[in-house]
Structure 1
Amino acid sequence: MPDKKNKFHSSVNVIPVIRTPNFTFSRELPQSKILSDIASLFSDKAPDTLDHLGTGTYSGQMRLRIKTMTALAFGQQTTPNQKAREVSIYRDPESDNPLIPATMIKGMIANAYERVTASRFRIFDDHSEPLTYRADPAATNSLIPIRLNANFENGTHTGKLLYGPNNARFAKYFTFDQKERLSNSIRLKHGDHVKFRALLVGKTFVVTEVWDNEAERYSTLKLPKGVKDAIKEMRKTDSKSDTEQEPTQIEGREYHGWFYATTPDHLLGTDDRIIDTKRSERIFFDYEQAQIEQSVPREIANTYDRVILSYAYNTDEGEVPPEKASRFVFERNNDGLIEPVNHNGLLAYARIDSNNKITEILPTEVGRRNYSRSPRDLARSQQILPATQLKEASPGDRLFGFTADSTSSSETKAPSLRGRIYITNIDTSKVLTKEGKDSLLKLRPLMSPKPSSARRFLTDANGITIGRKARPEYYSDGQLLGASTYPFSRKHAMAGGNGTNRNASEWNSSYEQDILKDHVGLPGPKVQTKILSWIPRDQHFYCTLRFEGISRDELRILLLLTSPDLIGRYAPTSERIEKKNKPTGFLRMGMGKPFELGIVKVSCVYHSIYQNVSDAEHQGLATDYEELAGCLGAPGEFLSDKEYGWDCRSFIDQAHSFYELLASTPSAKAFLRTCIGYPGTHEVRYMKLRENRWNNQTDPRTGMPKDDNGVAPRSLIDDQWTQALEVGEAN
C-alpha cells in the first residue's frame, strides 16, 4: 500500500433508482397526504388522454434564461480522413447565430425530471446476457475439469466431472521454465487423448512421461529444476523408509487423460508464452473410478459461449488483437457474429456450488467469468426497463412522452404517447462563441465506463453504492442498477475565464497514453475530440417551455428544476455553513460532462400559467377560451392583474412539505446533490489507470479486495457524500 493516497471525487457516479413503495422518507415530516401524493406520482400507470384538459390541471408557458457556467460544447460531429473527431456548433444560415436544438434543451429537462422521480429508463441496450469479469486466483479451487457428452448437440445434455486419483483436478504438463528452456520431444495438441505417467509431488500430480504412439514407448519429459529436486528428495526419503513402496508410486503410475492447453498449438514448446509466468498446461484425468456424471442444461453450457464471445475483437471497429493471445481469442466476422460453439465432447472447467452442482462452464482457470444475473434481468425485476405498454408509463413517460420498443404481439402496433412539454422560441442572438485555431478545445477520450465495472453502476436495495465485494457477488439478486450521472466541483461552476477545465484536455501521464494506444490501437491525439467551436462561460440564451394539462405535482417539479435557488434550498447537504447559505443549483447539457463542461444555470424569468377549474367564479383556461380572452402561448393582459394573476410564490410556499419529502427520496436526494456540486478543493476526475489497478487488487485467498482497496464512488445519498475518495497507485 502506498504511503500517500490521491484524493478526488469520481466524475462518474450513480443516482439510485428505487421503484418500490418502500421509499426512505424523513420521519420528522408530515407524511400522510403528501406521502400518498408522491407514491402516486412515482408509480407506473396509464397516462390521461390528450383529448381534454382535466380539472385541476395546469397549462401555460415559462420563459427560461439559460446561462453557461462552464464551456458548452455540442453540434455537428465529423471524422475527417480517419482522424480525430471534430465537433462544431450549428449556425442559422440567415443570422449566423448559434443553433441550439430544442431537443437538447428538452432532453436536459427530461433527464432531470426522470432522475428526480425515479422513472423508467428511456433507453436500455439489450444487455440480455450476463456480463463477464476477470476472476480472482482464489476462485480456481471451485473449478473442476469437465467433458460434455459426445452427443450433447443432439440432446444428450450431460457431462462428466473429471476427478482424478485422490480427487486431483489435473496433472501438470510443464512446457517452459524461467531458468532452463524445456524442449520435450512429444508434441501434444489441445484435445489429444494420451496415456501418461504422473507422480504426486506434494499435493499436485506432475506428468513425468508421455506415451509416444509412433515409437510405441514412453518418452521422458524434461522438468524444471525445482520439480526435479523435489522428486529426487521424495525418492531419497522412500529409499530410507522401512515400508516397501511399489515402483510405480515412486516413478509414477500410469493414467489416461485429455491434454488441455490455453496456449495455441503452434506456440506449444516454444519460447512464446501468453503470460510471462505461465509454466505448464494441464492433462485432465480420464479416471473412471472418480468421474461424476451430471445433467448440464443448455443454459449452463451457454455460459461457456458467453465467455468465449468476450474474447472476440473486431479490427474494423478499431480493436487491436493482443500480441500474445490465448487459444480462445479470435476476430469476429464482418457481421459481428461468431460460429456456434460445438459442445460435443467439449473439454472445459465447471464451477460447482456447495451442493456439487454445476453452475457455470468456463474455458480457463483464471480468466473471465459470468456474473450470475444479466443487467436486463436486474432491470426487469427492478421495473426500470422502457415501457412496453401504456399502463407501464412512468412519471417521465407520462410527461415527456414515449414510444414503446416492443409489444407482446408482433401484430399489435407498439403504443406511443405524445408528451405535454414543448420547447420553442430559442433566442441565441446575444450568444458569443469561441472558434478558430487559437480557441481549439481538445477533449480527452470520452471512453464510456464499462458496465462490468460493477462498483460504478450498482446499489443495494436502499440505494447505497456497492463496494468491497468479491467479483462473483456483483450483479446478483437484490441489487439495483443506478442511473449514471456526472457530478462537478462547485468551484469550477463559479470560476471565471472561458469555463474550460484543464482536466478535459490534459493527460494524466504518458503512461496513460501508452495504455490507451494498446487498447484502441491509436495514439492519444487521434482519439481526442477536437471542439472547433463552442460557447464560453457567462453567455445567455432564452427559450420558451410550454406545457398542457399537467398535474399539480408535475408543475411543482418543473418549477423546482427551473429555479436554481429552489434547488439549492431543498438539496440535502451535510455542511453546517450551507444551512444558512444555500448553494445555487445547476443543470447539465452538451458534451464533456465527465470533464465538468456544460454546466448551466436554468432560470424562469417569466411565466403565464393557467389552472383549469370547474368553479365558474374563478378564472381558468376553459373560461378564457369561452370569452376569447386568452389561449395557450398568447395570454391576455389581465394576467398582470394581481386579482386574476396566478400566484406562483404562494403555489411554491404551499408545496414546501412536498419538496421536503421529495428531497428525502433516494433518487431526488442524489440528483439535487449533483446539481449543487461537490464543495471544497478536491478535483473531480476519472480514476487514473495506476489507481484503477491498485483499486482492483484482491486477496488471492479470499477473492475480496485488499485492505482499503475496492473503493466505489461515494454514494450521493450518504451523509458523507462530500468526502473525497482516497486511492493509491499500483506499481
Structure 2
Amino acid sequence: MTETRFKFHSSVNSIPVIRPSAATSKNASSPRNNGSNELSNFLVDKTPVTLDHLAADTFSGEMRLTIKTMTALIFGEQDRSEGQPREIELQIDPTTGKPIIPATMIKGMIANAYERMTASRFRIFGDHSDTLTYRADPAAANNLIPIRLDSEYESGTHRGTLLYGPNNARFAKVYTFDGSRKLNTNLEIKHNSEVWFQAAPVDSTYVVTAIWDDERSTYKPLELPENIAAKINLDNDTDSRTDEESNTRQNMESGYKGWFYATTPDDLLKTNERIFSTKNSERIFFDESSSRRSIDIRPEIAATYDRVILSYAYNSEDGETRPKNASRFVHERNNSGLTEEINHNGLLAYARLDGSDSIIEILPTEVGRRNYPRAPRDLAKAQQILPASKADEASPADHLFGFTAEQIPDTTSNTAALKGRITISSVSTDSVQFQSRKRPVLHPLLPPKASSARRFLTDANGKLISGRDRPYYYSMGDMLGAAAYPFRSQDLESRDGFLKRATYEHYKDSMSGNNIDTSNIRVQTRINAWIPSKQTFDCTLRFEGLSTSELRILILIVNSEQLGAWASSSHSRQTAYLRMGTGKALGLGVVKVDCSQYSIYRTSRQDTDHWGLVNDYKHLDGCFGAPSELLADADSGWNHHTFIEQAQEFYELLAKTVSAKAFMRSCIGYSDEHPVRYMHLNENKWNNETDSKTGHSKKGHAVAPTSLAADNWEKPMSVGRKP
C-alpha cells in the first residue's frame, strides 16, 4: 500500500481560462448563461471604441497607488559570465541613491491581473506551435513495435514495415555487458545494418547467441552474461519441448534475418563502451517475412520522430555542449531547429499504435521522450485565447491595455492596433530601502513547463483533467490555464521577506538524496541587491475613457481589502496581494496594492449633465491631469462609495466566474501549514508511474495540484512513495 510522505501545495498552479465568447465554452458558471447582463456583454470579444473622442458615460482620471512589499522584491538587469551564476542587479538612481522601479513593471502587474480576472485573450503568447514532449514511464515501452520506413520514404512512398519476430517477439537482445563486466563482443556491425543472427528464447524475450560473419562464412558466437548462458544451457538439456518450441529451436539453428538497432554510437560499440552504467544490451529487430506488416505512415507521423530528437538536442549557439557519452540520437540544434535534417529513408524506430492498430507516433528509443497529440497553439486557437488577429477579436484586456493584432499569413500588413488607455507615472521610491549585503543565491528558477500537462489543462468547465493517461493530454477539447504562483499567508510575516525556501542552500538541503545535481552553475541565480519586505512606494495611474465595467474591475484590482473580500465566498475580511518581479514560484514578489486617492471625471451626455471633463474643456475650467474644484462636489458625476455600492451585483457575478474566482484565490494565499514547493524528482517519478500490463496510470498516481476554482481549493497535494 502506498504511503503518503509529504503534503504540500505546488509552487505553480493554474487559473482556468473559460472565455464566454469561445465556442467551446458552454459551462454553467459562464456569465453568458445567466441571461443578458452587464458582465456577460462586457466579457465577450468586440471591436474597441476608437480613441478620437471621449464617449458619454465613460470615466477619465487618475488614482494614486501605494504598493507595499510583503516578501522580497527582486528585479533588475540580468547578466551571466562564463562559469558563473546568473546575476540580478538593481538599477540605482545615482542622484538619490534609491532604486529605480520601472513604471512598466507596475503596468504589467495590473495588466496581468486584469487579463486573468476577465478571462481575456493572452495578449502575449509565445511560439508554442510545436507539439510538446514528455518523458514516459519505462512500463509504457511494452506496447511499442519496431518499424522500418521504406528506403524511398523521402521520395514519397510514405510507407513502412512493422517488424515482428517469432511468437510476436519485438526484438532480440545483443548483450555487451554483464553488469559492470565487459563482454567480449567487439561488434563490428553498425546501426541500421541488415544482419543474420541466431537467437534463443529466454524468459519473455529473445537473446542473440551468434551473428553471421561474412569473412568466415559462419555464425560467430557471442559471449553472454553467465545467468543468461545458464538459462539457455538448461533449456537445451530439457527434452520436454512443445512443437512450437521445437520449431523455434530449428529456426535458431538456421538463423534469423533482422536489422541491428543500437542507441550506443558505432565508435563506442567497437570498443565495448556504453552510454550509461546500467546499459547492458543493444537490439536486433526481427525481419520475418511471415510476420512483418506493411503500413502507411503519413509525413506528420514521421515528424513525431523528429520532434523527439529535437527535444534531446543541444544548442551550441546558447553555449550548450554535447553531453558526455551521448546516445546516437543526440543532435545539434540552433535557434531554427536541428542543424541537419533527419533522413527518413530506411529509418529504424519504434512505433506506438492506437486501439485500431494505426500508427500515432514514431520514437527513437523505448524509454524516453514522447509526443503529446496536439501543440498548445492548436488548443489555444480553439479556445480563442490567442492574441487577436483582427479588431473584432479584441478581449476586455485588449480594450484597456492596447494590442497589436497578431500577424497571420492570410492578413495584410496593415493589421489592427489599439493604443492602451492606461499609463503609469514615474515611481516614487523616496522611502524605499534596499539590501545588498548577503548576495543570496536563489533556488533554481525552473519555469513552469507547459509539458506538465496535469497542472495546466482543464476541461470546458475549468476542471483539471488529471488522472487521464499521459499520452492523451493535449487532445482537442482540452483548455489551457494561465500560470498562478500560490503562497502561504504566514510567509508574509518573514522578517526581511527573503523566504528560506527560496535560497539555494536550503534547496540543496531539501533535495539531498533526490538525485538532484545542485552543482550546475547554469541553474543558479545570485541576487546582488533587492528590496526587502515592508517597503512602500507610490505611483499615479492615469486612464481615459473607461466604461463603467472597466473602472469597476480596475478599482477592485487595486483595492486589497475589496479584492480579498470577494475572494472568499463568505466575504470575510481578508487581504489580497498581487505579484511582481522575479522568483514568484519561490514566494517572492508578493505586494499589497491600494489606491489612496481618486480624481475621476465622468463624461456624461451634455444635454442632461453640465459636469464632466468635456464641459471643463469647453469652459476652460479644468483639464485632464489638473482637476477642477468642482470634482469635490458629490453631484459632479462620480463618488467612490456610491460607485462601489452600485457595483455589488456586478462583482457578485464576476466572482462566480471560474477565472475570476481562481485568480482572486491565488491573491489571498493558503491559510494552512503545508509548505508551497516544487515536486521533488522522486515524487515526480512516482506520480508518472504506469501499470506495466495496461500502460494506464497507476491507481492513486497522476496527482495534480488542487484547482484554485474548486470548492476544496486549499486541499494540499498528497504524493505517495513506494513503501
TM more than 0.5:
yes
Task: Please tell me whether residue 554 in structure 1 is matched to residue 550 in structure 2.
Answer: yes
Q: Does the 8 Å CA contact 1:698/1:705 hold for their aligned counterparts?
A: yes
Secondary structure of 1:359's match? Answer: strand
In structure 2, C-alpha distance between the alignment counterparts of 1:681 and 1:348, rounded to whole Å: 49
1:504 is aligned, of 486, 502, 505, to: 502
Query: Equivalent residue for 2:469?
Result: 470
Query: Equivalent residue for 2:11?
Result: 11
Q: Does the 8 Å CA contact 1:106/1:423 hold for their aligned counterparts?
A: yes
Q: Does the 8 Å CA contact 1:114/1:395 hold for their aligned counterparts?
A: yes
* Compared CA separation, residues 233 and 179, structure 1 to 2 (3 A): farther
In structure 1, give the amino acid aligned to 2:707.
S
* Compared CA separation, residues 231 and 81, structure 1 to 2 (3 A): closer
In structure 2, C-alpha distance between the alignment counterparts of 1:111 and 1:407, rounded to whole Å: 24
For residue 652 of structure 1, report the CA deviation from its aligned partner: 1.2
Task: Please tell me whether residue 534 in structure 1 is matched to residue 526 in structure 2.
Answer: no
Question: How is 1:392-541 mapped onto 2 (pairs within 5 angstroms)?
Answer: 392-409=393-410, 411-435=412-436, 437=437, 439-493=438-492, 495=493, 497-505=495-503, 506-510=505-509, 512=511, 518=517, 522-523=520-521, 527-541=523-537
Secondary structure of 1:426's match? Answer: coil
Task: Please tell me whether residue 611 in structure 1 is matched to residue 595 in structure 2.
Answer: no
* Compared CA separation, residues 352 and 725, structure 1 to 2 (3 A): closer
Cα displacement string for residues 251-272 of structure 1 (whole angstroms, at most 9, x for unaligned residues): 5342211111112222336553
**Worse-superposed segment, 120-129 or 686-695:** 686-695
Secondary structure of 2:37's match? Answer: helix
Cα displacement string for residues 130-160 of structure 1 (whole angstroms, at most 9, x for unaligned residues): 1111223333333222221111112221112
In structure 2, C-alpha distance between the alignment counterparts of 1:188 and 1:80, rounded to whole Å: 44
In structure 2, C-alpha distance between the alignment counterparts of 1:613 and 1:121, rounded to whole Å: 32
For residue 454 of structure 1, report the CA deviation from its aligned partner: 1.7
Q: Does the 8 Å CA contact 2:612/2:636 hold for their aligned counterparts?
A: no
In structure 2, C-alpha distance between the alignment counterparts of 1:182 and 1:195, rounded to whole Å: 20
For residue 463 of structure 1, report the CA deviation from its aligned partner: 1.3
2:678 is aligned, of 675, 686, 695, to: 686
Cα displacement string for residues 331-387 of structure 1 (whole angstroms, at most 9, x for unaligned residues): 436976420011111111222222222211111122211111111111111111112
Secondary structure of 2:399's match? Answer: helix
Secondary structure of 1:199's match? Answer: strand
In structure 2, C-alpha distance between the alignment counterparts of 1:123 and 1:334, rounded to whole Å: 20
* Compared CA separation, residues 710 and 31, structure 1 to 2 (3 A): closer
Question: How is 1:2-401 mapped onto 2 (pairs within 5 angstroms)?
Answer: 3=3, 5-21=5-21, 22=25, 24=27, 32=34, 36-79=37-80, 82-178=83-179, 181-184=182-185, 187-201=188-202, 203-238=204-239, 249=250, 252-268=253-269, 272-314=273-315, 317-319=318-320, 321-332=322-333, 337-401=338-402
Q: Does the 8 Å CA contact 1:320/1:518 hold for their aligned counterparts?
A: no
Query: Equivalent residue for 1:649?
Result: 641
In structure 1, C-alpha distance between the alignment counterparts of 2:2 and 2:602, rounded to whole Å: 63
For residue 481 of structure 1, report the CA deviation from its aligned partner: 1.1
**Worse-superposed segment, 262-271 or 117-126:** 262-271
Secondary structure of 1:427's match? Answer: coil
For residue 51 of structure 1, report the CA deviation from its aligned partner: 0.9
Question: How is 1:542-691 mapped onto 2 (pairs within 5 angstroms)?
Answer: 542-573=538-569, 579=570, 581-618=572-609, 619-644=611-636, 646-691=638-683
Cα displacement string for residues 157-181 of structure 1 (whole angstroms, at most 9, x for unaligned residues): 1112223344332233333223864
Q: Does the 8 Å CA contact 1:301/1:360 hold for their aligned counterparts?
A: yes
**Worse-superposed segment, 309-318 or 415-424:** 309-318
In structure 2, C-alpha distance between the alignment counterparts of 1:715 and 1:411, rounded to whole Å: 41
Cα displacement string for residues 532-576 of structure 1 (whole angstroms, at most 9, x for unaligned residues): 332222222211111111111111101110111111121135xxx
In structure 2, C-alpha distance between the alignment counterparts of 1:712 and 1:138, rounded to whole Å: 21
For residue 297 of structure 1, report the CA deviation from its aligned partner: 1.4
Q: Does the 8 Å CA contact 2:163/2:286 hold for their aligned counterparts?
A: yes
The CA RMSD measured in Å over matched residues stands at 2.9
In structure 1, C-alpha distance between the alignment counterparts of 2:44 and 2:666, rounded to whole Å: 24
Secondary structure of 1:173's match? Answer: strand
In structure 2, give the amino acid aligned to 1:228.
A
Q: Does the 8 Å CA contact 1:490/1:679 hold for their aligned counterparts?
A: yes
In structure 1, give the amino acid aligned to 2:549.
D
In structure 2, give the amino acid aligned to 1:603.
D
For residue 411 of structure 1, report the CA deviation from its aligned partner: 4.9
Q: What TM-score results when the alignment is normalised by the length of structure 1?
A: 0.91
* Compared CA separation, residues 504 and 216, structure 1 to 2 (3 A): same
Cα displacement string for residues 238-259 of structure 1 (whole angstroms, at most 9, x for unaligned residues): 3788999579528534221111
In structure 2, give the amino acid aligned to 1:11.
S
In structure 2, C-alpha distance between the alignment counterparts of 1:695 and 1:239, rounded to whole Å: 45
Q: Does the 8 Å CA contact 2:160/2:294 hold for their aligned counterparts?
A: yes
Q: Does the 8 Å CA contact 1:176/1:269 hold for their aligned counterparts?
A: no
In structure 2, C-alpha distance between the alignment counterparts of 1:588 and 1:17, rounded to whole Å: 19
Q: Does the 8 Å CA contact 2:3/2:721 hold for their aligned counterparts?
A: no
Gaps of 5+ in 2: none
In structure 2, C-alpha distance between the alignment counterparts of 1:607 and 1:183, rounded to whole Å: 84
Q: Does the 8 Å CA contact 2:443/2:507 hold for their aligned counterparts?
A: no
In structure 2, give the amino acid aligned to 1:692.
N
Cα displacement string for residues 671-705 of structure 1 (whole angstroms, at most 9, x for unaligned residues): 00011111122222222334333333333233344
For residue 295 of structure 1, report the CA deviation from its aligned partner: 1.8
Secondary structure of 1:509's match? Answer: helix
* Compared CA separation, residues 470 and 253, structure 1 to 2 (3 A): farther
* Compared CA separation, residues 322 and 693, structure 1 to 2 (3 A): farther
Q: Does the 8 Å CA contact 2:500/2:506 hold for their aligned counterparts?
A: no
For residue 201 of structure 1, report the CA deviation from its aligned partner: 4.2
Secondary structure of 1:534's match? Answer: coil
In structure 1, C-alpha distance between the alignment counterparts of 2:48 and 2:245, rounded to whole Å: 87
In structure 1, C-alpha distance between the alignment counterparts of 2:135 and 2:44, rounded to whole Å: 38
Q: Does the 8 Å CA contact 2:316/2:334 hold for their aligned counterparts?
A: no
In structure 2, give the amino acid aligned to 1:509.
K
Cα displacement string for residues 279-336 of structure 1 (whole angstroms, at most 9, x for unaligned residues): 3322222222322222211111111111111111235535454444222123436976
Cα displacement string for residues 51-75 of structure 1 (whole angstroms, at most 9, x for unaligned residues): 1122222211111111222222222
Secondary structure of 2:66's match? Answer: strand
* Compared CA separation, residues 455 and 334, structure 1 to 2 (3 A): closer
1:715 is aligned, of 707, 717, 720, to: 707
Q: Does the 8 Å CA contact 1:58/1:609 hold for their aligned counterparts?
A: yes
* Compared CA separation, residues 135 and 684, structure 1 to 2 (3 A): closer
Q: Does the 8 Å CA contact 1:147/1:345 hold for their aligned counterparts?
A: yes
Q: Does the 8 Å CA contact 1:186/1:219 hold for their aligned counterparts?
A: no
Secondary structure of 2:507's match? Answer: coil
For residue 657 of structure 1, report the CA deviation from its aligned partner: 1.4
**Worse-superposed segment, 128-137 or 83-92:** 83-92
Secondary structure of 1:120's match? Answer: coil
Q: Does the 8 Å CA contact 1:508/1:688 hold for their aligned counterparts?
A: no
Q: Does the 8 Å CA contact 2:116/2:663 hold for their aligned counterparts?
A: yes
Q: How many residues align?
A: 718
